[in-house]
Amino acid sequence: MSLPKPAMRGLLAKRLRFHLPIAFGLSLIAAAAFKFGVTEPRKKAYADFYKHYDSMKEFSAMKEAGIFESVRPTGK
């Protein structure tokens, strides 16, 4: 019982033609997932924090707490 001749050429090319688009696609999906799962929420958190940030109020609170050396709390 003799064996039939199998395909012997271009085996790697066939494998790459199948796997490379999948690899490329998965990488793009991973990048998109990171962008929309991590970086965009992070940017939004910073934007939301600073949208109504009153720096003078925060400064006065810190000043009254006495942490600065160049400006002391009122009444000291």
Partner 1 sequence: MISSAVLRGIGSLARTRTAFTAPLAVRCYSHAKVETDEEFDSRWVTYFSKPDLDTWELRKGMNTLIGYDLVPEPKILDSALRACRRLNDLASAIRILEAVKDKSGPHKEIYPYVIQELRPTLQELGISTPEELGIHKV
Chain residues that interact with partner 1, rule: CB under 8 A: 2-14, 17, 20-21, 24-25, 28, 32
- Least Å distance, CB 46 to partner 1, is 25
- Least Å distance, CB 35 to partner 1, is 10
Closer of 27 and 60 to partner 1 (Cβ) = 27
Q: Which of 50, 48, 67 is nearest to 59 (CA)?
A: 67
d(C-alpha 9, C-alpha 11), whole Å? 6
Instruction: Locate 13 and state its tokens.
Output: 């090319």
- Least Å distance, CB 13 to partner 1, is 4
Residues 6 or more apart whose Cβ sits within 8 Å of residue 13 = none
Closer of 31 and 45 to partner 1 (Cβ) = 31
